[in-house]
Amino acid sequence: MLSNADYANSIDQIVEVMREQHKEGSDFAKIYETGKDSLVDGEFHTPYQYTEAQLAAAVEEARRLGTTVGVHAMGEPGTLYAAQAGVVAIDHATQLSDETMRLMKEKHIPAVPTFAIFAYFAEHAGSAAAAARETALLNYKIAEFKKQVAAGIPFAVGSDVGPFPHGTQAVEMELMVRYGMKPLAVLQADLINGAKVLGWEGQIGELKPGYFADVIAVPGNPLEDITAVERVSFVMKGGKVVRQ
């Protein structure tokens, strides 16, 4: 249980916690839907914490408050319940059934793969056994991601940065390309779908009149080499140049 999270064991408690956090200034709600995760003989398991009805109540309360709900959801059936409830994004989304992916396409719910954190844990495990466990999970995730890309579900970009340094999370786009997406699709997932997930659609993510003039430049063409986004050479924020 993270220190900045609260427990809620029923619909009434979910609504109560959301209202309390909203009054304290939260912009959106994130719900931990699944865990603890395990991979046994190639089969992925992750218990769900809330039913579809409970998640739907959270989504409705968020709508009343003028905001949205995202979920930490690694696999089934929690990911299905999240899609049925109409959350704004499914973070991690390691395992998605055909029905879950159908609903995500229908409702325009993006998966946020967060490969960067999985790769970090695999590379920085504290023991050989932990490294083997994390590597197996990453490999499982890669195989499932390829199925998700083939199914045509929407994606957004997020790294789960925290254990590794801020400022390095652009590697997430590199990993999404390495594991099956086209560079253009990753950029669209990051900029266009990311703006939608954040509730900033029509304000950021595109170069259009009336949008915030938030612009970066990189040395090279990210459509040919996505790693160019990891070498930012120019930054404009709100029309003001802050790096050149």
- Residue 4: what pLDDT? 75
Residues in the chain: 244
pLDDT category, 195, cuts 50, 70, 90? Answer: very high
- Residue 1: what pLDDT? 65
Alpha-carbon torsion (208, 212, 217, 221), positive or negative: negative
3-state secondary structure of 69: strand
Average pLDDT over residues 233-242: 97
- Residue 198: what pLDDT? 95
Judge if pTM exceeds 0.85.
yes
Alpha-carbon gap, residue 131 to 85, rounded angstroms = 35
3-state secondary structure of 184: helix
- Residue 162: what pLDDT? 87
Task: List the domain boundaries for the chain.
Answer: 11-205
pLDDT tens-digit map of 121-172:
999 999 999 999 999 999 999 999 999 999 999 999 999 998 899 999 999 9
C-alpha radius of gyration, the chain, whole number:
18
Check: CATH 3.20.20.140 for 11-205? yes
pLDDT tens-digit map of 59-113:
999 999 999 999 999 999 999 999 999 999 999 999 999 999 999 999 999 999 9
Q: Structure tokens of 54? A: 């409970």
